[in-house]
């Protein structure tokens, strides 16, 4: 990825989390630090770009809210932008914190972007080593933003520069203090953009060098990804936007395919959460437009 592409992806994700933290209630996932990592101008620019794109998302909404840009932005953010990043982060961190209670010492975030877990949980500084893995350009961008926000990088947060989607190397992790002990991995918002072979190779590599009990949380798209339109065509829009950005979605799985892939890597599915279950866990009884994305599932898999 180029510097600006890498930064833009992480910025838009941070925008969605910051918007939710500031304007939505109740909170699905409260990333109260995300706003500190994007400038006011960036927040305004992303907001404006979303509003200007309303015709692409929904012509009826464009007409209904033609004189109400704030409601336009809220609709786009709640329907299209935020549901999956918010719910998958909430799910992942709940699993992670439970693992920490059971004695977990290492957490590896693959594709960390502008993740803020470390800064939202300072109480874990002596209990959990966190390894953020991402493109070098993304990590430089993040370090710059942390500095501008007066957020000091603590000793238990380690930046590991790597294009893990192409060649995963444990040496980079070992150089930052990674040890052979029970490890938790998160791989969120990544699997759709890899081929099935790339995902399989990555998971095989990840779990070749960690002990039994290590686990991973990731999200994936089911076999209806390229057929399902979704509420207000949002699934179709997501696929179109990914293609237009030069990073097309490449893979979707039937459940038995995921199960077989994980079995080959020595993993068992501990928890599988379908779109309907995600909606029930994280979006129940809401009165706004936030709801679970069709076709997106979550998995927690554990090494045998």
Domain ranges for the chain, please list them: 83-303
In a 3-state reduction of DSSP, which class is residue 45?
helix
First-to-last alpha carbon distance for the chain, in angstroms, is 35
Query: Phi-psi category of 286—alpha, beta or left, where left has phi over 0 and alpha has psi -120 to 50?
Result: beta
Of 91, 181, 176, 105, residue with least CA distance to 139: 176
Homologous superfamily (CATH) for 83-303? Vaccinia Virus protein VP39 (3.40.50.150)
Q: What is this structure's pTM?
A: 0.96
Query: Phi-psi category of 181—alpha, beta or left, where left has phi over 0 and alpha has psi -120 to 50?
Result: beta
The vertex-286 CA angle with 281 and 292, nearest 5°, equals 50
How far, in Å, are 8, 75, 224 from residue 253 at the CA level? 28, 29, 9
In the chain, what's the furthest Cα-to-Cα distance? 58
Of 216, 244, 225, residue with least CA distance to 303: 216
Q: How far apart are CA 53 and CA 42, in angstroms?
A: 16
Stretch (H or E) spanning 71: helix 69-76
Bridge partners (DSSP) of residue 221 are 296
Instruction: List per-residue pLDDT tens for the chain, 304 residues long.
Output: 454 566 678 899 999 999 999 999 999 999 999 999 999 999 999 999 999 999 999 999 999 999 999 999 999 999 999 999 999 999 999 999 999 999 999 999 999 999 999 999 999 999 999 999 999 999 999 999 999 999 999 999 999 999 998 889 999 999 999 999 999 999 999 999 999 999 999 999 999 999 999 999 999 999 999 999 999 999 999 999 999 988 899 999 999 999 999 999 999 999 999 999 999 999 999 999 999 999 999 999 999 9
């Amino acid at each position: 990825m180029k510097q600006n592409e890498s930064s833009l992806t992480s910025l838009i994700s941070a925008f969605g989390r910051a918007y939710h933290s500031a304007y939505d209630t109740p909170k699905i996932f409260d990333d109260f630090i995300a706003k500190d990592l994007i400038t006011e101008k960036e927040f305004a620019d992303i907001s404006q770009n979303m509003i200007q794109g309303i015709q692409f998302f929904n012509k009826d909404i464009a007409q209904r809210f033609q004189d109400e840009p704030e409601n336009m932005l809220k609709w786009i953010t709640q329907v299209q932008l935020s549901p999956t990043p918010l719910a998958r982060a909430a799910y992942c961190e709940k699993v992670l914190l439970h693992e920490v209670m059971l004695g977990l010492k290492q957490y590896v975030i693959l594709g960390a972007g502008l993740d803020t877990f470390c800064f939202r949980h300072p109480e874990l500084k002596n209990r959990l080593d966190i390894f953020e893995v991402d493109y070098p350009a993304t990590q430089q961008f993040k370090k710059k933003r942390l500095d501008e926000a007066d957020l000091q990088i603590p000793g238990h947060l380690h930046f590991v520069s790597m294009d893990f989607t192409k060649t995963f190397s444990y040496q980079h992790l070992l150089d930052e203090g990674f040890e052979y002990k029970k490890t938790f991995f998160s791989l969120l918002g990544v699997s759709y953009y890899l081929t099935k072979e790339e995902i399989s190779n990555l998971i095989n590599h990840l779990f070749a060098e960690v002990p039994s009990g290590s686990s991973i949380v990731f999200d994936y798209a089911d076999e209806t990804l390229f057929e399902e339109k979704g509420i207000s065509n949002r699934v179709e829009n997501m696929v179109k936007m990914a293609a237009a950005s030069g990073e097309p979605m490449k893979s979707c799985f039937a459940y038995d395919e995921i199960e077989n892939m994980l079995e080959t890597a020595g993993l068992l599915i501990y928890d599988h959460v379908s779109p309907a279950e995600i909606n029930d866990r994280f979006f129940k009884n809401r009165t706004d437009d936030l709801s679970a994305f069709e076709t997106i599932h979550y998995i927690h898999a554990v090494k045998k």
